[in-house]
Amino acid sequence: MRNIIAIFKKEFRAYFDSPIAYIFITAFLISSMWIFFRGFFLIGQAMMRGYFSLLPWFFLFFVPAITMRLWAEEKKAGTIEVLMTLPVKDYEVTLGKYLAAFLFLGLTILLSATLPVTLIMLGQPDLGPIIGGYIGALLMGGAYLAIGLFASSLSENQIVAFILGIFFCFCLFIIGENFVIMAIPSRIAMVFSYIGLGHHFESIGRGVLDTRDIVYYISVIGFFLFLNIRSLESRKWS
């Protein structure tokens, strides 16, 4: 546990040692809030459904940007060789990096809490979907992070890791969308629907916390962290 905390502190501090973290947070908040309020004043209803419906697409590009450097930078600088010779286990390094990225994303999402505060001041929004939407955002964001972290372990180039992260996240998101489900045989449609990241987010975003959705996201996170660890082990074998 001590090793995980040490790596977590190092990685989390690294985000704020450069302007990248501040640029990322500013760009995410400004772009997402601008698009939300652009539609909000047209609809004239105190709800955040439009914001949460756009969030998976924002995450698709912003989350891989958080994870692309975590392994790729280590490989390019050659520090991964030093890191792997230290008395730390592969899963400790992986968890430390993942938790740092998750906290950074959580802080970014938390800063958007000005949106529901504004809605409460302007009207009487239903808080159930709002709370569910934020819980769903953390779960879906956590899944995107695990996928992006795995993508970063596959390359020493941050741009390649970024593109791979977008590709993997996009595939898992789009596979459960309605236009895909309608185009495949009904026998496997339910499987594709369950695998899709967006399908479970929509359910939680309605304010319904189903244990199946929570188990799904935890399973996706665990699976891709496992693949990350195996990727590190394969590097040792080579």
Residue 99 belongs to domain spanning: 2-237
pLDDT digits (tens, 9 = 90+) for 113-126: 888 887 777 777 77
Residues with Cβ within 8 Å of residue 78, at least 6 apart in sequence: none
- The count of domains in the chain is 1
Q: What is the pTM of this model?
A: 0.88
Mean pLDDT across the stretch 94-109? 94
CA angle at 199 for the pair 106 and 108, rounded to the nearest 5°: 15
Residue 149 confidence (pLDDT) above 90: yes
pLDDT at residue number 235: 64
131 falls in which pLDDT band (50, 70, 90)?
confident
pLDDT at residue number 42: 58
Q: What is the mean pLDDT of the chain?
A: 83
Note the Cα 9 to chain centre separation in Å.
Answer: 19
Q: How far apart are CA 70 and CA 215, in angstroms?
A: 26
Token duo for residue 62:
């912003």
pLDDT at residue number 47: 67
Residues with Cβ within 8 Å of residue 225, at least 6 apart in sequence: 91, 94, 95, 98, 146, 149, 150
Residue 237 confidence (pLDDT) above 60: no
Q: How far apart are CA 66 and CA 48, in angstroms?
A: 25
